[in-house]
Amino acid sequence: MPKDYAFIFERSNKQKLEVFFATLMIVVVLTAMVLVFLTFFQEGFKGSPSFQTLKNFIDKDIKEVTPLGLFYMSFLGNLLFVPLPIEFPFFYGLTQGNPFFISLFFVIAGMIPSYAIDYLVGAKLSRVVFTFISTKKIYKVKRWVDKYGSYAIFGFNLLPMPSNELTFALGIAKYNITRLFVFTLLGSVIKFFAIWGLYVLF
């Protein structure tokens, strides 16, 4: 058989069902564990002085939109499926006297680990996702990502778009992580400089 030939094998329906039920079982078990943890330990955590101190500290920084508060919002807002755009708090923080470069540093510092989590979750779930999608479609999407992925990453981070969901999808596609973060940082930094420019002008 010539070495140039490559065959695409589709998974059987039985394999897809097995993976589906195994995934469902894991989700149910994890959900049950979280509920048990919250039920038995929530009150204990709420009553502890350290928890209250941490809660007050975070509440104060977020409400006053300090640079540290921007870090919290950037980290949480860029986690998968969390609709918390950071552009408006960043602009509001500038109006409250936050230094631009310090605010930019904290926003980027919160964004990088958040996107890393999104990417890793996508990469870990890729086998499950690929089980339910036609392999031919996967290769078609992967070719599109390899060709246009850089433009999509840059555009999503330059504009107020759900770049966390794009990062998750690129994790599933096993997109080059170095290229991902280079274009993510490039688009984000230009965006925040543009916001700063608007603040200075108006």
Q: Across residues 51-74, what is the average pLDDT?
A: 81
Q: Which of 36-40, 60-64, 66-70, 181-185 has the lowest mean pLDDT?
A: 36-40
Q: Across residues 78-101, what is the average pLDDT?
A: 88
Percent of the chain with pLDDT over 70: 66
For residue 122, pLDDT beyond 60: yes
CB 125 within 8 A of CB 172: yes
CB 19 within 8 A of CB 131: yes
pTM: 0.71
Tell me which residue of 93, 43, 44, 84 sits closest to 66, measured CA to CA. 93
Confidence at residue 7, expressed as pLDDT on a 0 to 100 scale: 39
Q: How far apart are CA 145 and CA 163, in angstroms?
A: 14
Q: How far apart are CA 188 and CA 129, in angstroms?
A: 29
Q: How far apart are CA 170 and CA 152, in angstroms?
A: 10
Percent of the chain with pLDDT over 90: 25
